[in-house]
Amino acid sequence: MTAPLAVTARALLFDMDGTLVDSAASIDRVWREFAARHGLAPDTVLAALPGRTAQDIVAGCLPAADGDTVAAEVARIREREEGATDAVAEIPGARRLLTSLPPRAWAVVTSASRTMTERRLAAAGLPLPEVTVCAGDVRAGKPDPEGFRTAARLLGVDIADCLLFEDSAPGLLAARRSGGTAVAVAAPAGEAAPYRVDDLTAVTAHPREGRIRVEIRPSRAHAQSAEGMSAEGIRR
């Protein structure tokens, strides 16, 4: 069994969908309905989803639509998504990890609306964070790093002293651009990140005196490349 790597940080920042919450079935259903309404190929629409806000997705899929049409479609999609929590579940290890952290030592950074974020976390049985940065809180969504930097600022910590947990390509790009340290959670192969895990059962946090020692057991696919790292990771 691969020995865990260890790194210390001041705060942990988490994406929501695919990182803390498995909402894939719910999201898939709502966006397939959108594709059908507009005569779009469902696979093309679904490929545009990870890490992006509904506003950016709709505008990208309907380039000829005016602002009112995009806004109306976004409102319709958000209403459907906010009500579709029947298929939402915890990513393995998420509840254990979040409840081990001090309230001001973690945040959620998501492309979802605030209402959707609260409903999905609740449906998955996860605690609500004191700091949440949602789609309406930033000028630019992922892969822009604004959301992660905003969360670090609201927690009163340096982004360089944060671990950023993400599952999507745009989210990991935002993490790298932010100046924090990325942890890829079941992310697509080929996405660069110092750490990769299959799910959050591979992450254990030990808060002490304002810092958090985080032990990370890398995914099997990442274990070989991780062997060259020091036993204490990248930061002490």
Question: Domain with 123 in it: what CATH number?
Answer: 3.40.50.1000
Q: Would you say the C-alpha torsion 51, 53, 59, 61 has a positive or negative sign?
A: positive
Q: Model-level pTM?
A: 0.81
- The total number of structural domains in the chain stands at 2
Q: Which of 83, 103, 122 is the last residue of a domain?
A: 83
Positions marked catalytic: 15, 17
What confidence score (pLDDT) does residue 179 get? Answer: 97
Confidence tier at 79 by pLDDT (50, 70, 90) = confident
- Residue 235 forms part of a structural domain: no
Pair 148, 71 in one domain: no
Res 1 pLDDT > 60: no
Q: Give the mean model confidence (pLDDT) for residues 86-100.
A: 93
What confidence score (pLDDT) does residue 135 get? Answer: 87
Q: Could you give phi then psi for residue 209, rounded to 5 degrees? A: 50, 50
Pair 30, 107 in one domain: no
* The two three-digit tokens of residue 209, written as one number: 């005196």
What's the N-to-C CA distance of the chain in angstroms? 24
Domain extent at residue 39: 24-83
* The two three-digit tokens of residue 121, written as one number: 């976390």
Distances (CA, A) of 192 to 49, 166, 223: 19, 11, 14
Most confident of 20-24, 83-87, 105-109: 105-109
**Residue closest to 141 by CA, chosen among 182, 173, 164, 165:** 173
